[in-house]
Amino acid sequence: MLDDSIDFLRGIRQRPVWSPIPEQVKAALSQPVPWEPQGLEAVWSDFKELVQPYSTGNTHPRFFGWVHGSGTPAGMLAEMLAASLNANLGGRDHAPIYVERAVIEWCRELFGFPGGSSGLVVSGTSMANLIALAVARNAARMEAGEGTRQLVAYASTEVHDSVWKVLRVLGLEDHGFRPVPTDREFRMDVLALERAMREDLAAGHRPFLVVGTAGTVNTGAVDDLGAISRVCRTHGVWFHVDGAFGALAALSPSLRDRVEGIREADSLAFDFHKWMHVPYDAGFVLIRDGEAHRRCFSTAPSYLERTSRGLSGGAPWFTEFGPELSRGFRALKVWVTMRHFGLRRIAEKIEENCAQAHHLAGMVSAHPSLQLAAPVTLNIVCFSFKCPGLTATQLEWLNREIVFFLHEQGLAAPSTVRLRGEFHIRVNLTNHRCTEADLEKLVEDVVRIGEALAPAAQGN
């Protein structure tokens, strides 16, 4: 299995990026409950035939969709080591806990958070956002006299969908959330933020949270984190940064200043499984006030008694910092990835992706049939194929078809996005296997397919 998996990764470039799943494969995967043992050989054979060829494709050099990391063989081995221990990191006193504590300590240092801050390795930024926003709300509720005022959270209209979901879970989506408009570069309009806060204060509400984004999912825009943090400080409001992928720009000396304001945040959410290429899933939440973090989640049932000796030692337990009791050893693949590659090399790959984004944007801007849709801040390029005489609906049909064709032929896997009402092709570069030649091929393919399909667009 190990040899085959390494061979699979080695040969990834020769494979289609993605392949549509044949109906007979879907049918073959719908099997009856396996009451009797079938043996590892049979399962492995099914995996190779039915699963491996039809995966997402984000290990491929021309996977450009959404924000997917590419994984690494070292991460794959780390997953195997973690499974060999089958450790539960909810708590207790065992070495895996100290590995996660080491990861937390490194993250504190990387983002300039102080000694009393706390952190937790989680499934992803969605969960990290949930934990951070729950802590922020809990802290606001504990303030004296806050029982009756409506709590209000603020984030830009470009904020990630996971923040909307969290606000829904926290019961704040309907009356406790004010989306703030963005400027021309898709960054939060900080003057509009201040105006909204003043209006809410005048109406007797309690602004308690602002979510800034370091790398929006649509265009990679980075909010003015420094300015937002100053507004938050003036009004005594919790400042959370969603830095799902963008936060790791802080690893690079040449990109760091774009996300400098993270140091001022009360909490930060980001992913290891995106720009650090740790295999899915692995994200992180960092909270400046570690005590507020613990107060939000800590309970003390007798069967989970923390003792001063024995295996029940090791307090505080990680279960006191999040909603989960049982937790896997995700921290190991993060620890292995950071140590194996070193953060300098990971930062170089991040810089390379940003340079590639500018290279792609340059090719798009220079091509008469292509149009750039948004400024390139980090690693995301949004553009579309243009054809004179087509209506907006026809152009949308054409660009959708180009993306379908790229996916279905296994040529490349960009995703799509709607910006200010217009539909575009979206290329995200969190891919350490991608080269400039891959992007040159993408441009050639988009133009070739666009020109071939343009006549058909007239009828749509």
Ligand X SMILES: Cc1ncc(COP(=O)(O)O)c(C=O)c1O
By CB under 6 A, which span of 81-89, 232-240, 241-249, 367-375 interacts with ligand X? Answer: 241-249
What DSSP character marks residue 182?
A: B
Name which of residues 60 to 79 contact ligand X (CB under 6 A). 67
Nearer to ligand X, 189 or 271 (CB): 271
Q: How far apart are CA 144 and CA 183, in angstroms?
A: 36
The site for ligand X, by CB under 6 A, has a size of 14
Name which of residues 123 to 162 contact ligand X (CB under 6 A). 124-126, 160, 162
Nearer to ligand X, 91 or 283 (CB): 283
Q: How far apart are CA 136 and CA 86, in angstroms?
A: 33
Residue 254-273 contact track with ligand X, rule CB under 6 A, x = bound:
-----------------x--
Name which of residues 346 to 365 contact ligand X (CB under 6 A). none
Nearer to ligand X, 251 or 417 (CB): 417
What DSSP character marks residue 62?
A: T
Residue 385-424 contact track with ligand X, rule CB under 6 A, x = bound:
----------------------------------------
Residue nearest to ligand X (CB): 124
Nearer to ligand X, 132 or 232 (CB): 132
58 contacts: CB under 8 Å, gap ≥ 6? 65, 68, 69, 70, 71, 413, 431
Enter the tokens of residue 153: 């959270």
Nearer to ligand X, 65 or 96 (CB): 65
By CB under 6 A, which span of 57-65, 118-126, 397-405, 450-458 interacts with ligand X? Answer: 118-126
By CB under 6 A, name the one of 194, 242, 264, 266 that touches ligand X: 242
CB 132 → ligand X: shortest distance, Å?
A: 12
Residue 204-223 contact track with ligand X, rule CB under 6 A, x = bound:
---------x-x-x------
CA dihedral 167→171→173→179, nearest 10 degrees, is: -60
Burial class (CB in 10 A: 0-12, 13-18, 19+), 335: buried
411 contacts: CB under 8 Å, gap ≥ 6? 16, 17, 62, 405, 441, 442, 445
Distances (CA, A) of 369 to 354, 458, 459: 23, 16, 20
Q: Where are the alpha helices (DSSP H) in 274-371?
A: 290-297, 330-341, 343-366
DSSP-assigned letters across all residues of 229-276: HHHHHHHT-EEEEE-TTGGGGGGSTTTGGGGGGGGG-SEEEEESTTTT
Nearer to ligand X, 140 or 244 (CB): 244
Nearer to ligand X, 124 or 176 (CB): 124
340 contacts: CB under 8 Å, gap ≥ 6? 72, 74
Q: How far apart are CA 78 and CA 49, in angstroms?
A: 25
Nearer to ligand X, 255 or 398 (CB): 255
Nearer to ligand X, 120 or 387 (CB): 120
By CB under 6 A, which span of 121-129, 140-148, 360-368, 394-402 interacts with ligand X? Answer: 121-129
**Distance, CA of 299 to chain centre:** 29
Nearer to ligand X, 126 or 252 (CB): 126
Q: How far apart are CA 254 and CA 330, in angstroms?
A: 30
By CB under 6 A, which span of 14-22, 238-246, 309-317, 405-413 interacts with ligand X? Answer: 238-246
Q: With binding defined as CB under 6 A, does residue 244 bind ligand X?
A: yes
One-letter amino acid of 334: V
CB 330 → ligand X: shortest distance, Å?
A: 12
Distances (CA, A) of 213 to 86, 160, 226, 286, 425: 35, 8, 12, 15, 22
CB 160 → ligand X: shortest distance, Å?
A: 3
By CB under 6 A, name the one of 283, 290, 322, 450 that touches ligand X: 283
Chain contacts with ligand X (rule: CB under 6 A): 67, 124-126, 160, 162, 213, 215, 217, 242, 244-245, 271, 283
